[in-house]
Structure 1
Amino acid sequence: MFENAEVPLSEEPRTPRWSRFDAQWYLLRYPEVRDWMREEGQEGPYAFYQQTGQRYGHSPNRYFDEVWYREAHKDVRQGLIREEWASGFEHYIATGYKTHAPHWLFDEPAYRRRYPELTQRFLTENGFLNGYDHFLEIGESHYYRGHHFFDDELCRDLALTFPDHFDSRIGLFGSWLGLPAHVADAGRVSWYFDPVWYLTRYPGVRQEIAAGHYSSALHHYLTNETPRLFDPQEFFSEQFYATAHPDILPSLEHGFFRNGYDHFVRYGAQEGRIPQADVDLAAHMSQTQVRNDVRNRLYDSAFAHLVAGRTGLEEGRMAALAAVPAIPEEQSRILFEREAEAILPSLVRHPLDFTVHGVPEVSVLMVVYDRIALTAQALASLRANYGGGIQLILVDSGSHDQTRHIGRMVRGATILRYRHNIGYLQGCNLALEKAEAPLALYLNNDVRLYPDAILHALKRLHGEPGIGAVGGKLIRTNMRLQEAGSIIWRDGATYGYLREDDPNLTSANFVRDVDYCSAAFLMVRTALLRRLGGYDPRYMPAYFEDADLCVRILKAGMRIVYDPSVVIEHLEFGSSGAAGSHALIRGNLKTFARLQQDFLRHQQPAHIRNAVLGREHRVSQRRKILFIEDRLPLRRLGSGYVRSNDIIREMTALGYQVTVFPVLARDQTSIDLFGDFPETVELIVDRNFSSFADFIQERVGYYDLVWIGRTHNLERLLPLLNESSRYLPAGGPVLDTEVIATPRTLERIRILDLPAPEISFDEMLQQELDCARFCQKVITVTAHDAELARRAGRVSVSVLGHELNPQPTPAPFENRHNILFFGAIHDEGAPNHDSLVWFVESVLPLLDSVLPPEVHFTIAGFVGPNVDMTVFSTNSRVEIVGPVGDPRELFDRHRVFVAPTRFAGGIPFKVHEAASYGLPQVVTTLLQEQVGWAEGSEVLAAPADDPQAFAAAVERLYRDGELWKTLRNGALAAVERDCSPADFRQALSGIVQSCMA
């Protein structure tokens, strides 16, 4: 009957799906229209809708809900009363699409907040009118989520149950909007709402659906007129939530939230508020796997995760996402051996080639007794691990299996055969006599090497001549640690540090000097081995010979280093058998304790609580610094975290052992943890403020200095520091203020016209730095802040600024375009956020008339998870790129940098950073005064309360190539002068030495 099922209601070249009139859907939704058309003589449903239907509150398609739109948006309702619009849809088509949600199951503002990359510029350039257009066209298919109450993964499960009701041409969302009630209510499409439970709890709703007042249970819940009288599912109670959290009641009464659940979904779930008496959301959130799943957007909150687990509907998916269960070692050992057997046929057909031309780089000493499959697997792993010159020396210690044919699988090896089992120790010493390489590797035949293990060990030994031996991280077949370096106790017993723990623990993944490393993998300087005579024959046939060798290496004045990048999987006791091994171990322990008693008497007593003290060799132990920060200072976080990261790096370069302790709990990825800090730094990720006292007590006497970053952290910790002072260095901690906030606070009050404080500047300053009385020294970033600290009564004050190396990007002025801001936005209202609001709202509009429309403003850098970026993204000039790894490319393609900060303290790192990349900038006079740079030769500046002057400076710099070159050269010279890494290190060294004296 209707050849054109969809009629565009917009003149755009590509009309959004939400703008089209759907005749077929319209007649199904409003069946009475057929009779009305006949009575009124209308030619078709589209004409009827235009002349009559829209005034009756009809929706033109499934994607727009006319009745809800009128009720949800007060301005639309008032416009209809004034007859400014024929319908809500006419308003939406004309202007509402920019800001208003069109349907109770799609939230336009929330969609743009969730995905800040969907700036107005991005949408326009890609042909989308708004976020809803993007979602319907490509967002849904790319797993974007348009509403808390619609999860396409759950809807897909429903589609599998009712395939005839879903149309792939319009997607899951469009199909669901057209479902009959009995299908829509058959199962969840969100972890936030349970339609089956809802209809059972409120049977009257089913009657209202049958009467045509609502299309589904979810429709009723999201649109009914008494929202506080209905609970959405068994895990949330409106009555309990309001009683347990009375602070939300004023917001509910003033209509800021539809009901308590609206508040909970938007804010309460992230805050860990209790949704019901028997639901401990905070405890659920504390689980690492839960936080990881939420961070990775598998669930949008810990509450959704909890519901998924409790309902049982998600058992398969939850099982797949759960933490990996423990692997029974008896099973993992069998698997390890079966895998070894599987490669034998291949090695017979394709032998491993260990032929060496010239002098080998490393001589591998391997003693084997039977177990041909294990040997073959170890050798295949060795050859695949390193392509350089390996001299392979195999000692066949009287094998009875196919090991006698090992030569058919290996070419170029030196094979020493003995008719009887001469034992591991004697076999190694005989192999050592044949070694030709400068480095020798003791390697078990029951191991598999992880990527680049040989290369990392070689680099370690080649890089530091004082190292005598390098060992690695040994992981047993069940993927638990055998050792992360080993401790020799006072009684001669040994302990593999962190045995049975997770190999990815940060405490297992920093480089340190140790007492010894097991010779399952131990790379040693060959000349040193020969000088020491190899293994001591008094330990024949095996066990404690490697511990004894390591002690003799240490006595020779050489270091033994544990390198966690050298990773080895080890079938413990795979080459000897555990029963006989334990007997040998007990016997040789006595021999070791007797022969090395002069060494042992200085070791830690054998107790697990002494493991932290004993995990590093006592003679080579470096002086230790406990570095405390808000969170692990990752460079991508910007702000003062870059400076903190630099301090840690320089402390390490100066020879100190640094432990970083974050006061606030934050989940970090392995890439963050192990890629942003020197390899010798210990990162604490399983502790925070709540466990700080226990942490300090466990490490009594361990640290030589405590360095506390940021004054508010000292305030938080001060009661604990006072209580635990007997466990800490006697001199007291160092406070690195990062910024003295009093001037910034008062400037913010002035700029934002906030109520003035009731106390004076000096009283505020005294309050801010009162906690510093506990400290032996106060560090500031500028001389100005140092004077403020002294003004507050702090006597011992030092200045430590930033360090930067100029690294100008090469692109010339004419090849660069656009304006850049690069800085962290941790919170709304923070200095960077405020500066961007001012620039986007007050400065950018002034540039519209003087700069071409294609010139855009890029906002880059870390953005906190709770920061709403839509205040910027709706401007057609703004592009938001978020955090970037290496910012060089970003700086290389932009022409002007802006720092429109209106209130701040300390030194603006972003100004120094932009200058170091050779990007000229316009800053506020506040920042110009802080860096002390000259106007017109190093920077352009304008007052923070004069947007016209700031815009004029941006335009001038954007157009004037000669000025651009002048500022670039001047700022690069200023960075070299003010941010010298050598000066930074010297200042830091002086501070630390004076505090440890």
Structure 2
Amino acid sequence: MFDTFWKLIHIAFSSPIQTAKLISNEKLRVMLKALKNESPQQIAEGFRRQLINKDNISSNTKNIYPSYDKKKFIVQKKKLFHQFIQSNTNLKFSNENPVLSIILVFYNKVELSFACLESIKKFIEIPYELIIIDNNSTDDTTILLNKIEGATIIRNVENKHFLNACNQAIPHIKGRYTLFLNNDTELLEGSIKAVYQTIESHENCGAVGGKIILPNGNLQEAGSIIWNDGSCLGYGRDEAPYLPEFNFKRVVDYCSGAFLLTKTNLFKKYGGFDSRFEQAYYEETDYCLWLQEQGMEVIYDHKAVIRHFEFGSSLSQEAINLHRKNQNTFFKKHKTKLSRQFAPNFSNISNARFSASNQAKKKILYIDDRVPHINLGSGFPRSNTIIHCIQDLGYQLSIFPLNYPYEDNWDEVYRDIDPFIEVIKDLGINGFKQFIKSRENYYDIIWISRPHNIESVRKLIKIYTSNIKIIYDAESIFTDREIERKHLKGFITNKKKVHTLYQKEIRISEIADTTIAVCKTDAEKFKNFGATNVHILGHCLIIRKSPDHFENRNGLLFVGNLDDEASPNTDSILWFTQNVLPIIKKTIPDIEVNIVGSCKANNVRLLNTKGVNILGQLNDLDKFYDHCRLFISPTRFAAGLPYKIHEAAANGLPVIATEILGKQLGWKNKESIILSEINSESFANSIIETYTNQEQWKKLRENAYQQVEKEFSFSEYKNKIAEILNTD
């Protein structure tokens, strides 16, 4: 015991501010329980895990939910309420054809009830009805009720408390979904839309809850955990709501009844909340366990956010006593089920934040430069496909953007990433050490993309992981690119130096149990330099039949990231516009070049060439694939597999590329693609010939479709990934 105490004191003095934030009543109870079950080392380690340095969090994600003083808040809400009752206006609600039935239980605190009603009127867009049960309030609640129109109001002559009051509403519910909402809460914008879309889009979803924010701006919970002794933990209690671990969807044990959406038919089937849990507490926990027994899931949706005054309708000590009584009832009722839950230990929180049905999933940490969006190019579309395949295969996935952690806000993160994937945004390379320490031996597999990333993290992975499978996804052999770049500048590299460069790059894969190459050529190089267990994983694409009207198409299309002035993409566009385009214009004077992709490189961004349209980053390229006549890839040095060519071919746009890309593709010249040597005249003539030859254009288009269908089917791609993940 003394050993544990001094370890904790040492940690506390190392991080005093974070320690002060950590010790909420709820977490303190978990720590005290842990004294019975864990060694001093385990408790100290679990405590330390809660103290991950948050200093790396970008400033634009902080203070989303500003704190407020509870006393001042009450004064303000009372003032607003009195202004309302002195006015000639009423609160009007429509109850026609409701999709949603909202159940509100009132017991005094009229100013909070009024604030809750105001937020409902302001932020709910789908058709709903309001069912209010007043438990014989003795304040001005009656005055408020008399000024409400269009709601079903049940007035009790005694305080029936929360559980029985909710059950009273059952005969009146008309909506397909029922929302339980505490009267001391306020909805925030988009919350109802979020939970509604979640429950509508997931057939097995029985209930949805969200992020509940306390007056101090921190979390009350982001979903909740049930321990094996029947006690519970609001996950994230007193933590900052903007942290990555609270900003993705999860299947959880339960969500608080302060804000819980469920399917009405299921709630009626259960007969309402179990009366054994009256007056309140554990009724929603019990209901959520029953939903899981029916094969349904309870989902935490990070986009649904409410503010909760907390215990605004009850005396704190009274609530705590009631909580203890009902915990005992809950434990007796669900003893068998609870035996499969985790013990209430700090070291179990990361696993226990998922429901028991999801805890069996193997966990993968995926490391890349940034969140891999489809429209970024540079290998990120391939990474995007990989993570979706991993998710489809039933793994629990975390993405760690190592080098560009601040590029996206939370809405941008999930624009093409499954919201059930955890994205560890804002920590980056400076925060990776503390992150991997906090999740020591949590993951079953670590998948690392690109050579510089495995170089950055391999020492830390060796220290803080054991018995974990490491997969190195080379994405490309970067030495190929550098050698070609030097050749273009006239440098001659001797064979010994080239050998050393390849050896240095490929040897970093020694830490990996499995190495992935994107093409056969790269795989052979890895094997020649001693890599074992090498797999080939290229691209995955779905055919999209674009219009085949040759005569209605005009212009050329280039797609690629142009942020780096020294990148292959930037070099190719400068070479093309300065050396190739003038030759083409002698034959086709009105031809235009459409350049799509993020463009921060000044040497491209400031181009002032007639007929060159720099369009920046676009999320939807369909109109360009439908209306341009040719796709160009004038690349002079490169490595890896060119996704942009595969994507253009999959969208029915014939491709003109350099021979260096042809070697990577393995496609036959003049069959599925036109390949040109790196020569201005040659490249220009290849474009002119195909641009003006309808028969050749259609032949290339159809052959490319067949090539993509043959090489890049989704089911085959997913099978390859499954094989990689399951190979020892």
Closer, same or farther: CA 572–334 of 1 in aligned 2, 3 Å: farther
Trace 1:629-668 onto structure 2 (pairs within 5 A).
629-668=368-407
Q: Percent identity?
A: 33
Q: Which moved more, 1:897-906 or 1:606-615?
A: 606-615
Which residue pairs with 1:28 in the alignment?
A: none
Which residue pairs with 2:472 in the alignment?
A: 735
Cα deviation for residue 994 of structure 1 reads: 3.3
Q: Give, in whole Å, the separation in 1 of the partners of 2:439 and 2:91.
A: 54
Q: Give, in whole Å, the separation in 2 of the partners of 1:870 and 1:741.
A: 23
Q: Give, in whole Å, the separation in 1 of the partners of 2:557 and 2:113.
A: 59
The one of 269, 278, 281 equivalent to 1:540 is: 278
Which residue pairs with 1:878 in the alignment?
A: 612
Q: Give, in whole Å, the separation in 1 of the partners of 2:79 and 2:718.
A: 54
Paired letter, 1:463: S
The one of 793, 796, 800 equivalent to 2:537 is: 800
Closer, same or farther: CA 506–725 of 1 in aligned 2, 3 Å: closer
**2:593 maps to 1:857:** yes
Q: Give, in whole Å, the separation in 2 of the partners of 1:421 and 1:871.
A: 69
The one of 639, 646, 652 equivalent to 1:905 is: 639
Trace 1:302-341 onto structure 2 (pairs within 5 A).
326-335=67-76, 338-339=79-80
Higher RCO (Cα < 8 Å, 6 or more apart): 2
The one of 93, 98, 102 equivalent to 1:352 is: 93
CA RMSD of aligned residues (A): 3.2
Q: Which moved more, 1:734-743 or 1:368-377?
A: 368-377
**2:562 maps to 1:828:** no
Trace 1:314-713 onto structure 2 (pairs within 5 A).
326-335=67-76, 338-339=79-80, 348-349=89-90, 351-356=92-97, 361-382=99-120, 385-386=123-124, 390-404=128-142, 408-411=146-149, 413-578=151-316, 580-593=318-331, 595-608=333-346, 610-621=348-359, 622-670=361-409, 671-713=411-453
Trace 1:187-336 onto structure 2 (pairs within 5 A).
288-289=58-59, 326-335=67-76
Paired letter, 1:446: D
Paired letter, 1:732: K
Q: Give, in whole Å, the separation in 1 of the partners of 2:150 and 2:662.
A: 69
Contact 1:921 1:939 in 2 (8 A): yes
Which residue pairs with 2:718 in the alignment?
A: 985
Paired letter, 2:95: F
Q: Give, in whole Å, the separation in 1 of the partners of 2:437 and 2:532.
A: 30
Paired letter, 1:924: T
Which residue pairs with 1:938 in the alignment?
A: 672
Output the TM-score relative to the length of structure 2: 0.84
Q: Give, in whole Å, the separation in 2 of the partners of 1:409 and 1:382.
A: 16
Cα deviation for residue 502 of structure 1 reads: 3.7
Closer, same or farther: CA 731–565 of 1 in aligned 2, 3 Å: closer
Q: Give, in whole Å, the separation in 2 of the partners of 1:843 and 1:686.
A: 42
Cα deviation for residue 850 of structure 1 reads: 2.5
Output the TM-score relative to the length of structure 1: 0.62
Q: Give, in whole Å, the separation in 2 of the partners of 1:956 and 1:487.
A: 66
Closer, same or farther: CA 721–962 of 1 in aligned 2, 3 Å: same
In the TM superposition, what whole-angstrom CA distance separates every residue of 1:778-820 from its partner, at most 9, and x where no partner exists? 1111122222222222231222111222335448433333332
Contact 1:732 1:774 in 2 (8 A): no
Closer, same or farther: CA 792–556 of 1 in aligned 2, 3 Å: same
Contact 1:396 1:416 in 2 (8 A): yes
Contact 1:846 1:948 in 2 (8 A): yes
Q: Give, in whole Å, the separation in 1 of the partners of 2:709 and 2:199.
A: 35
Question: Equivalent residue of 1:567, what SS?
Answer: strand
Which residue pairs with 1:253 in the alignment?
A: none
Q: Give, in whole Å, the separation in 2 of the partners of 1:500 and 1:617.
A: 21
Paired letter, 2:58: T
Q: Give, in whole Å, the separation in 2 of the partners of 1:828 and 1:690.
A: 26
Closer, same or farther: CA 812–506 of 1 in aligned 2, 3 Å: farther
Paired letter, 2:475: E
Q: Unaligned regions of 5+ residues in structure 2, if any? A: 1-54
Contact 2:471 2:513 in 1 (8 A): yes
Paired letter, 2:632: V
Closer, same or farther: CA 757–659 of 1 in aligned 2, 3 Å: farther
Q: Give, in whole Å, the separation in 2 of the partners of 1:725 and 1:766.
A: 26
Question: Equivalent residue of 2:414, what SS?
Answer: helix
Q: Give, in whole Å, the separation in 2 of the partners of 1:822 and 1:462.
A: 36
Closer, same or farther: CA 377–353 of 1 in aligned 2, 3 Å: farther
Cα deviation for residue 325 of structure 1 reads: 6.4
Which residue pairs with 2:9 in the alignment?
A: none
Trace 1:734-753 onto structure 2 (pairs within 5 A).
734-753=471-490
Which residue pairs with 2:689 in the alignment?
A: 956
The one of 452, 464, 482 equivalent to 1:724 is: 464
The size of the alignment, in residue pairs, is: 672
Which residue pairs with 2:37 in the alignment?
A: none
Contact 1:507 1:684 in 2 (8 A): yes
Q: Give, in whole Å, the separation in 2 of the partners of 1:968 and 1:409.
A: 68
Contact 1:355 1:413 in 2 (8 A): no
Paired letter, 1:541: Q
Cα deviation for residue 494 of structure 1 reads: 2.7
Larger radius of gyration: 1
Q: Give, in whole Å, the separation in 2 of the partners of 1:287 and 1:620.
A: 28
Paired letter, 1:786: A
Q: Which moved more, 1:497-506 or 1:682-691?
A: 497-506
Q: Which moved more, 1:791-800 or 1:507-516?
A: 791-800
In the TM superposition, what whole-angstrom CA distance separates every residue of 1:803-841 from its partner, at most 9, and x where no partner exists? 222335448433333332210134233221222232233
Q: Give, in whole Å, the separation in 2 of the partners of 1:324 and 1:414.
A: 32
Cα deviation for residue 614 of structure 1 reads: 2.2
Paired letter, 1:969: E
Cα deviation for residue 893 of structure 1 reads: 4.0
Q: Give, in whole Å, the separation in 1 of the partners of 2:77 and 2:337.
A: 38
Cα deviation for residue 423 of structure 1 reads: 1.1
Paired letter, 1:658: L
Closer, same or farther: CA 342–982 of 1 in aligned 2, 3 Å: farther
Q: Give, in whole Å, the separation in 2 of the partners of 1:978 and 1:335.
A: 65
In the TM superposition, what whole-angstrom CA distance separates every residue of 1:960-984 from its partner, at most 9, and x where no partner exists? 3333333233323332332222222
In the TM superposition, what whole-angstrom CA distance separates every residue of 1:103-137 from its partner, at most 9, and x where no partner exists? xxxxxxxxxxxxxxxxxxxxxxxxxxxxxxxxxxx
Paired letter, 2:94: D
Cα deviation for residue 458 of structure 1 reads: 3.7
Contact 1:514 1:560 in 2 (8 A): yes
In the TM superposition, what whole-angstrom CA distance separates every residue of 1:459-511 from its partner, at most 9, and x where no partner exists? 43343343332112222345432221112344443332223344333322211
Paired letter, 2:428: N
Question: Equivalent residue of 2:587, what SS?
Answer: coil
Closer, same or farther: CA 374–340 of 1 in aligned 2, 3 Å: farther
Contact 2:570 2:604 in 1 (8 A): no
Contact 2:605 2:614 in 1 (8 A): no
Paired letter, 1:704: D
Paired letter, 2:247: N
Q: Give, in whole Å, the separation in 1 of the partners of 2:87 and 2:340.
A: 51
Contact 1:354 1:411 in 2 (8 A): no
Paired letter, 1:882: G
Q: Unaligned regions of 5+ residues in structure 1, if any? A: 1-284, 294-320
Closer, same or farther: CA 394–763 of 1 in aligned 2, 3 Å: same
Cα deviation for residue 681 of structure 1 reads: 0.9
Paired letter, 2:219: L
